[in-house]
Amino acid sequence: MTAGEEIAIRRKRLRYRAWHRGTKEMDLVLGPFADAHLENYDEAQLDKLEALMNEEDPPLLKWVLRQEEPPAHVDRSFLDLLIADHEARVAR
């Protein structure tokens, strides 16, 4: 398998995970974000998304909705991209 095939498979898996979180609210946050950005992300950016997606849905939703501050281990700059993307979609 080539590196290009491996990253394509990884993107497909992440897209599936983004749309099948277990809570509809996070599906609607992460799914559109994945659809809009995954194809342009390199491995480092996919790592950041995957790390964020490894978080549990309830706290992740609270961070996205700005109801709570994320813990120090969360990549805040990447989370801010997700928040901005979500807020732009909600504002439409």
DSSP state letters, 12-62:
HHHHHHHH-SSSHHHHHHHHHHHHHHGGG--HHHHHHHHHHHTS-HHHHHH
CA distance 53 to 55: 5
Residue 4 has pLDDT above 90, yes or no: no
Per-residue model confidence as pLDDT tens digits over 50-64 = 999 999 999 999 999
Per-residue model confidence as pLDDT tens digits over 33-90 = 999 999 999 999 999 999 999 999 999 999 999 999 999 999 999 999 999 999 999 9
CA distance 92 to 39: 23
Residue 92 has pLDDT above 90, yes or no: no
Q: How many domains does the chain have?
A: 1
CATH number at residue 46: 1.10.150.250
Report the pLDDT value the prediction gives residue 1, as an integer from 0 to 100: 78
Q: Which domain holds residue 13?
A: 3-91
Task: Kindly tell me the burial class for residue 30, based on how many C-beta atoms sit within 10 Å of its own C-beta (0-12, 13-18, 19 or more).
Answer: buried
